[in-house]
Amino acid sequence: MERPKIIYCIYVGLLIILMGLIAFTPYVAFSDLGLAKTLYGGFAPTCHQKISRSLCLFEGNATSIGDCTPQNGAYVADDRANLSVVRSGALGFKFPVCSRDIGIYLAMLLGALAYPFVFRLEDKKILPMFILIAALVPIGIDGTVQLLADLGISILGFPYESTNFLRLLTGGVAGFVASFYVIPILNRMFG
């Protein structure tokens, strides 16, 4: 197998493993909280893990994914230690990374899978930086306004807390475009 294909397969494989671990963590929490806590701990250095900014896997008549807490725009103090919630009588465990990170990582995987349909795997040409910057603007605005609000600085004139949908969307835009930079950079480094 040619080196660019190997690099590509390793990159996609690592993203699949990452997404698999993210998806596996709340599933295992229902039956083995000790193992789940180890997985949550493994992801802790990469994410704030606030349950108010996370998605949960809910168990019940139909297993579903949804907001762990109501997304009403109100700031929620540090709640990263909470692993589970009960909503509408259903127990739910949060994913080990926030909704924005899920959007980033899942979209990186989707971008990587789309890459060979747009470019050749052996390409080393990096797209113009303005494309990456444009993809980072939404996540930058949403994250910065939210951070400032967390610090008590309201530039909008009211307390701001983003929603999980907006976090997924802004993270997804950034993540999808990121793979179109990561793959040629990896080709330059190892190709």
Name the residue with higher pLDDT: 73 or 87.
Answer: 87
**Residue ending a domain, choose from 76, 99, 122:** 99
Shared-domain flag, residues 92 and 10? yes
Q: What is the pLDDT of residue 61?
A: 63
Helix (H) or strand (E) holding 3: helix 3-29
Q: Look up residue 48 and give its two tokens.
A: 């704030």
- Span 50-82, pLDDT tens digits: 999 999 999 876 679 999 988 877 667 777 888
Shared-domain flag, residues 27 and 70? yes
Shared-domain flag, residues 131 and 182? yes
Shared-domain flag, residues 110 and 140? yes
Shared-domain flag, residues 118 and 44? no
Q: What is the pLDDT of residue 42?
A: 96
Domain that holds residue 174: 100-190
Share of the chain above pLDDT 70, in %: 97
Name the residue with higher pLDDT: 100 or 162.
Answer: 100
Question: What is the number of domains present in the chain?
Answer: 2
CA distance 168 to 116: 24
Q: Look up residue 149 and give its two tokens.
A: 């609000």
Per-residue b or e along 43-75, where b marks 16 or more CB atoms closer than 10 Å to that residue's CB: beeebebbbbbbbbbbbeeeeeeebbbebeeee
Q: What is the pLDDT of residue 152?
A: 81
Shared-domain flag, residues 75 and 65? yes
Shared-domain flag, residues 87 and 121? no
Shared-domain flag, residues 138 and 94? no
Mean pLDDT of the 167-172 span: 97
Shared-domain flag, residues 143 and 167? yes
pTM (whole model) above 0.75: yes
Mean pLDDT of the 127-154 span: 92
Does the pLDDT of residue 144 top 80, yes or no? yes
Does the pLDDT of residue 13 top 80, yes or no? yes
Mean pLDDT of the 134-143 span: 96
Does the pLDDT of residue 146 top 90, yes or no? no
Residue 64 CA, distance from chain mean position: 18
Q: What is the pLDDT of residue 20?
A: 97
Helix (H, G, I), strand (E, B) or coil at 117: helix
- Span 24-51, pLDDT tens digits: 999 999 999 999 999 999 999 999 999 9
Shared-domain flag, residues 52 and 137? no
